[in-house]
C-alpha cells in the first residue's frame, strides 16, 4: 500500500493547468510585434528595405540554402541533403542521374516521413559527384520543359478543335 500513498502525494504536487484562453476574432487579435533583432535589422537596412519592397524583383540570394553536402564525401562519391523535398524530386532525380554513363551508383532516401529531408548518394567513375548532380538537375529541368511544352500544345489543339 505505500506506493499508492506516494502516487497520491506526487499527484497532489502537480500544479493545476493554466486556464485556457478563449478564441478571439482576428479583428480583435493583437498585432504581432517585431523582435529586437528584426527591429535592428530594419534600422540598419532602412532605405534599402523600402526600395526592395517597392520593386517586384525576387532575389535568388534571399532564399535559404536547401542543398548541402553531407560529411564523409570524396570527389567521386558524395551524399547530398535536400531540404523541403520528398519522393517526387528524389525518384525522378535518381532516374535521370542513373542515365548518365559516368555514374556508377545513385540512390535516394527519406530519413523520416515527418521531416522534409531527402538524401541522395552519387558515386561516379570519373567525373565528380557534384558535376553529376548538376548535370542531373539540368537534364531534369530540360525534361520538365519538354513535357510542359507538349502538354500546352496538346491543350491548345484540344481547345481549338470543334466539339462533336
Helix (H, G, I), strand (E, B) or coil at 17: coil
Q: What is the pTM of this model?
A: 0.60
Cα gap 9→42, rounded to integer Å: 53
Q: How confident is the model at residue 10 (pLDDT cuts 50, 70, 90)?
A: very low
Alpha helix (H) ranges present in 14-107? 36-54, 87-98
Mind listing the pLDDT tens digit for each residue in 123-154? 999 899 999 999 999 999 999 999 999 999 99
Mind listing the pLDDT tens digit for each residue in 61-92? 557 889 999 999 999 999 999 999 999 999 99
Q: Residues 118, 73, 60, 152: what is their CA dihedral angle, to the nearest 10 degrees?
A: -50
The angle at the Cα of 97, spanning 108 to 102, to the nearest 5 degrees, equals 120
Q: How confident is the model at residue 162 (pLDDT cuts 50, 70, 90)?
A: confident
Amino acid at each position: 500500500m505505500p506506493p499508492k500513498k506516494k502516487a497520491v502525494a506526487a499527484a497532489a504536487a502537480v500544479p493545476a493547468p493554466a486556464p485556457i484562453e478563449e478564441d478571439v476574432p482576428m479583428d480583435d487579435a493583437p498585432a504581432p510585434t517585431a523582435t529586437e533583432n528584426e527591429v535592428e535589422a530594419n534600422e540598419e537596412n532602412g532605405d534599402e528595405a523600402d526600395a526592395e519592397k517597392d520593386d517586384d524583383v525576387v532575389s535568388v540570394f534571399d532564399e535559404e540554402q536547401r542543398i548541402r553536402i553531407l560529411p564523409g564525401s570524396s570527389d567521386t562519391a558524395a551524399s547530398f541533403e535536400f531540404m523541403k523535398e520528398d519522393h517526387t524530386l528524389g525518384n525522378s532525380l535518381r532516374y535521370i542521374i542513373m542515365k548518365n554513363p559516368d555514374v556508377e551508383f545513385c540512390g535516394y532516401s527519406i530519413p523520416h516521413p515527418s521531416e522534409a529531408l531527402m538524401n541522395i548518394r552519387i558515386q561516379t567513375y570519373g567525373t565528380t559527384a557534384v558535376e553529376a548532380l548538376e548535370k542531373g538537375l539540368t537534364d531534369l529541368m530540360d525534361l520538365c520543359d519538354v513535357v510542359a511544352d507538349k502538354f500546352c500544345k496538346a491543350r491548345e489543339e484540344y481547345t481549338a478543335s470543334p466539339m462533336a
